[in-house]
Structure 1
Amino acid sequence: MAADPLFGWDLTFKTVEKDIKRKSDVLIAFIHWNLTKRGLRTIGIGDERTLSGDEDKSEVLPTGWNDKDNYTLRYVLEGKLYILHGLNTDGTLIVNLMRSEDLAVSNLALKIDDTVKETSGSIAQMLPGYKDLMYNVKRDLIDTITDRPTTTAETQTSTRNEPNRRLPDDPLRVPSRPHPSGPHPDTRDLWEPPTAPLPNIGRSDLDPFAPGGGGMLFNPFGPRRDLENPGLGVPGGLPRGAVPPGARFDPFGPPLGPPPAPGRRPPPDADHLPPPGGFNDHMFM
């Protein structure tokens, strides 16, 4: 034989029937009954969020539970403190159940006049839709928070101390630097200068402790020029690959011969003077 889902309601209501003043009191009594069925026990009124451990636990609503327009009741379940708040506003009773340990909250809003028809009589007379109401209280107010795991300091500590815990892939996370105890061939240190043959161009502009080198502008006359391929008519030469193979390229300077001997200046660019008779002397008149 199946257990009666309304078992205990008549006894609960009889203990508070003389205290009922308004329709919202019936809803709080009904919610309290559902909380006690789940195993919660009341320890008084108020919103104090600490437990001393010696509180008297009871299945009966405490004295003065409905003395004010709004409700604040304290409950205990498995050593954890829960606080029930009921707020009357514009004909609606907004109820939330907060777990004090981590401030997790569940909510339920009920239209008072649509839910409660009478303040006395059988449950069918007071709450015609009590079956749906019982289901909503259990699902949205109680199970939502009592079945939710808590985040304690112990679990946080154990998570931090797991040495082999794999972090989730994050495309924005910068890879960690190699451990100084030894090389890691699969992990490149992104903070070290690039290896050859990449030129270390621009590092001195970004790193004040970088070794000597050029800035963001490459010096074609510097020591990095290609002496074996002096280029096509450019003092100091074009870098290798500047002109694709087979491409048409008009030199814009005289081809250079072999590099000058050490200590000798390179020859001047012949374009700094016009060729003899190459221009009309009256071209600007």
Structure 2
Amino acid sequence: MASDMFGWDLVYKLAEKDITKKEDVLVVLIHWFLLKNGFKCVGIGDNKVLLESEVGSETLPEGWNAEDTYALRYAHNKRLFILRGVRTEGDIIFNLLRVSDLSVSNVSFAVDDTVRNLSGPIENLIPSYTDVLYNIQKDLIDPVFSGKKRTATTQTAEGESSRANEPTAPRFRYEDDPLRVPRRDVDPGFGSNWDPHGDPLAIGRSDLDPFARGGGMLFNPFGPRGGVRQPPDIGGVPGGLPRGSIPPGARFDPFGPPGVGPGIGPGRGGHRGFAPDPDHLPPPGYDDMFM
């Protein structure tokens, strides 16, 4: 037997006469491990008040396995701990409660796979006893006794660390979006005299930008790209339309091709006037003498 199991034989011999089932063997093992860490058993039950008159013992109290569930009280430096064991379908779950702040830990074991015999040396009772003791230390005692609590933050950090070497999908880049709105403060390489509003490649850019000014897929004959000068106002009518009918900067679909339309070219009598809009088609039956 390994030297780190010192004292196990004595504890087991004192409890052997009471052992009647495999779960009892695990309770005795946890009891020994608590004693090894400086705990003393102060009785059975779940009373959360530790009296000064209660004296700790290294032996299990009378009737420790008389019930279907286990409830043992332990003290360490005048702090009370309660060990509970509940049997489920083929498993047993142990909880260790630190009464001072109600911190609790737990560990579970598959009974038949863990305990093979009810008597004999520890290697025959629990062949994997080293793994069982490791789990008892890590999951049952450390979280409430040494302050090594496993919080959600710690678990998340451990999960992220374990995934650090996993391949990750390429991150989305703004420049890869075919429908992106180009940034207005970026020089595309046309030099310091580049005019973003006169860029021939910018046709339709404003349709992707809800905050753009004018432009879009609708051609503006009077804009900076069209090269057509806004006709002079005649009688307060800009370009033959009522004033205010086209808000400043609005997207505007002209009624005709650039350079042709109302107010363009000489009118009757040699002065500029309002010629018919060539886009206007005559009504059906225009040449019908009966219309």
After TM superposition, the score normalised by the length of structure 2 is 0.50
After superposition, residues 39-58 of structure 1 pair within 5 angstroms as: 39-58=38-57
Matches of 1:128 and 1:134, distance apart in 2: 12
Relative distance call for 1:86 and 1:43 in structure 2 (3 A) is: same
Letter in 2 for 1:55: E
Deviation at 1:16, TM superposition (A): 0.4
For the pair 1:101 / 2:108, whether they are aligned, the reply is no
Matches of 1:59 and 1:140, distance apart in 2: 23
Q: 5+ residue gaps in structure 1?
A: 151-248, 251-285
Counterpart position of 2:32: 33
Matches of 2:59 and 2:10, distance apart in 1: 10
Matches of 2:51 and 2:59, distance apart in 1: 20
Relative distance call for 1:143 and 1:149 in structure 2 (3 A) is: closer
After superposition, residues 125-274 of structure 1 pair within 5 angstroms as: 125-148=124-147
Counterpart position of 2:82: 83
Deviations 1:214-265 (A, max 9, x none): xxxxxxxxxxxxxxxxxxxxxxxxxxxxxxxxxxx85xxxxxxxxxxxxxxx
For the pair 1:7 / 2:6, whether they are aligned, the reply is yes
Matches of 2:7 and 2:126, distance apart in 1: 16
Contact 2:23 2:111 in 1 (8 A): yes
Give the secondary-structure state (helix, strand or coil) at the position aligned to 1:34: helix
Contact 2:142 2:148 in 1 (8 A): no
Relative distance call for 1:80 and 1:149 in structure 2 (3 A) is: farther
Deviation at 1:17, TM superposition (A): 0.4
Letter in 2 for 1:148: G
Matches of 1:32 and 1:52, distance apart in 2: 21
Letter in 1 for 2:120: G
Deviation at 1:141, TM superposition (A): 0.6
| Percent identity of equivalent pairs | 47
Letter in 1 for 2:20: K
Deviation at 1:149, TM superposition (A): 8.1
Letter in 1 for 2:74: Y
Give the secondary-structure state (helix, strand or coil) at the position aligned to 2:3: coil
After TM superposition, the score normalised by the length of structure 1 is 0.51
Q: CA RMSD in A?
A: 1.9
Q: Which has the larger helix fraction? A: 2
Letter in 2 for 1:59: E
Contact 2:94 2:106 in 1 (8 A): yes
- The structure whose Rg is larger is 2
Deviation at 1:143, TM superposition (A): 1.2
Counterpart position of 1:199: none
Deviation at 1:46, TM superposition (A): 0.2
Letter in 2 for 1:75: Y
Q: 5+ residue gaps in structure 2?
A: 150-242, 245-291
Letter in 2 for 1:140: D
Deviation at 1:124, TM superposition (A): 0.3
Deviation at 1:71, TM superposition (A): 0.2
Counterpart position of 1:242: none
Could you list the structure 1 runs, at least 4 aligned residues long, displaced by more than 6 angstroms after superposition: none
